[in-house]
Amino acid sequence: MALANCSRCGTLFLMQYDKHCKSCSEAVKQDAHKVKEYLASHPWASLMEVYHKTGVSLETIYGLMERKRSAL
């Protein structure tokens, strides 16, 4: 374990596996759930539509896209 700053809020925390602190990790999970639910009912939605309809930041959506791409 190492000390690190949360990449989302800047809080100092003990980094184990994630680059976010515990509260930001929960927020990212909730945002991911919102995006996943929206895309399940609107599979052809554009990036900007997902952004406007879910309220999830573009940075978070891009991060989710990168994780999905690296999982393939």
Q: How do residues 18-71 score in pLDDT, each as one tens digit?
A: 888 999 999 999 999 999 999 999 999 999 999 999 999 999 999 888 887 655
Higher per-residue confidence, 52 vs 2: 52
Per-residue pLDDT, 17: 83
Per-residue pLDDT, 44: 95
**28 contacts 8 by C-beta, under 8 angstroms:** yes
Residue 72 — very low, low, confident or very high, per pLDDT cuts 50/70/90? very low
8, 33, 40, 71 from 65: Cα distances, Å: 17, 13, 15, 10
